[in-house]
Structure 1
Amino acid sequence: MKTYFVTGISTEIGKTIASAILVEALQADYWKPIQAGELDDSDTHKVERLISNKTSKFHPNSYALKTPMSPHAAADIDGVTITLKDIKPPKTNNHLVIEGAGGILVPINQTQTILDIIKPEYHVIVVSRHYLGSINHTLLTVNLLKEKGFKVAIIFSGDEHKTTEDIIKKMTQVPIIGRIDEEPYFDRNVILEYADKFQSEFLGL
């Protein structure tokens, strides 16, 4: 069984939708180690609503913080300190999809970042969405992950921007799973369609 870590180049770029598609495609378990804000409608809740299969399990956050901010700042407001020893992957005999918070260098405390949560054996999927600066952010993210020895793949999110995608493909030389289009809405049926479309790509990582 494999563990997949879903990260992105920024926030609000499609990590949760990509995670839902991956969970559905592999009937995998889902875990978000750190949730900051929206505790009544968390990313775990959102993914669970989008999943059709009955196999996937949804594991509790290690940290559920009240404020939608960088984890280190949200934790400070809540009067807690995030420590790696308390971020323990759930035990499962299934594939596991882990969704990060923000990008890989988002701080979780005064000395560590989301990158420190990612274990060497994880397969890292980077969600890249076009905006001014996204090429730079994608290349920085992918190149750092590659330097650290991780297996990396990319999912593009949003409307196609060919020149952006072409140069990212050329300069990263990592597998491209596909694109999640700018859909009018996402529900279980849409997630299932993408899961069927991407399943072989996920399994091939």
Structure 2
Amino acid sequence: MTRFVVTGTDTGIGKTIFSAALAQATGAPYWKPIQSGLEEETDSEVVARLAGVPVHPETYRLVTPASPHLAAEIDSVNIDLETLAPPPGDLIVEGAGGALVPVTRTTLYADLFAKWQVPVIVCARTSLGTINHSLLTIEALKSRGAPIHGLAFLGDAMEDSEAIIAAISGIRRLGRLPIVDPLTRETLAAAFSANFDIANFA
């Protein structure tokens, strides 16, 4: 069964594009538990467009573009953690921002990942600062008992940074997704196929 959580070391690093690539390559449906901000194309809409896989509706769709805990408060929505259970079967789950983004005032995404016990793929950018951000993210997940499947790097090649993060953390490198331009379903599939071994996601 293909079943993974995709998280990141920061917001806006490209984990939705990676999620789309992984969903397309595996054929697994996609689920974004909480979407904050509805004015622009949502993450679910991006994945549907680029991956062509089934997309489960978000459990919460919040108008305000902010951290889920704050967006929910501004929108007068109560996030019930019991409703945030991943659908059964093959699934690619994408969190919001980084692993320590608050879902509520008392619960972080990393806490949910530990509760779910679904293998986590950590997406890390390759630009300056990634070593610190990546190792902090991995330590936060490990300390909560969240299972980590591997690291997916995003951006231009930076061999030393990628290697030292994997060596110090003990988490394997799955591959690196370069910047894809133009970004289409076909170019994304080709980039993923060229840089990742699908057998590592079996």
TM-score by length of 2: 0.91
Residues 1-205 of structure 1 mapped to structure 2, 5 A cutoff: 1-38=1-38, 41-52=41-52, 56-91=53-88, 93=89, 95-118=90-113, 119-147=115-143, 148-197=145-194, 198=196, 199-203=198-202
Contact 2:156 2:178 in 1 (8 A): yes
| SS of residue matched to 2:99 | coil
Give the stretch that moved more between structures: 17-26 or 32-41: 32-41
Query: Residues 149 and 69 of structure 1: is their aligned pair in 2 closer, same or farther, counting only changes over 3 Å?
Result: closer
Distance 1:130 1:151, change over 3 A: closer
Do 1:3 and 1:97's aligned partners in 2 also have CA atoms closer than 8 Å?
yes
Q: Is the 8 A contact 2:2 2:201 kept in 1?
A: no
How many Å separate the matches in 2 of 1:77 and 1:149? Answer: 30
- Distance in 1 of aligned mates of 2:169 and 2:9: 14
CA deviations on 1:112-159 (whole Å, 9 max, x unpaired) are 111122145311001100333321110011122233151331011011
1:51-91: per-residue Cα shift (whole Å, max 9, x none)? 24xxx311000110111111111111101122211213224
Matches of 1:50 and 1:149 in 2, distance apart? 28
More RCO (CA 8 Å, sep 6+)? 1
2:122–2:148 Cα contact (<8 Å) kept: no
CA RMSD of aligned residues (A): 1.7
Q: How many residues align?
A: 198
Larger mean Cα displacement after TM superposition, 23-32 or 122-131: 122-131
**Alpha-carbon offset, residue 195 of structure 1:** 4.1
**SS of the residue 1:101 aligns to:** strand
Q: Which secondary structure state, in structure 2, belongs to the residue aligned with residue 102 of structure 1? A: strand
Instruction: Summarize deviations over 1:155-191 as a string: whole Å, max 9, x none.
Output: 1101112221121121112121111112222211122
| Matched AA of 1:90 | P
CA offset digits 1:30-67 (Å, max 9, x no partner)? 00001001355210000010124xxx311000110111
TM-score, structure 1 as length reference: 0.89
Distance in 1 between residues matched to 2:155 and 2:8, nearest whole Å = 13
- Aligned sequence identity (%): 41
The CA distance in 2 between the partners of 1:36 and 1:87, in whole Å, is: 15
2: distance between equivalents of 1:39 and 1:195?
29
* Secondary structure of 2:97 counterpart: coil
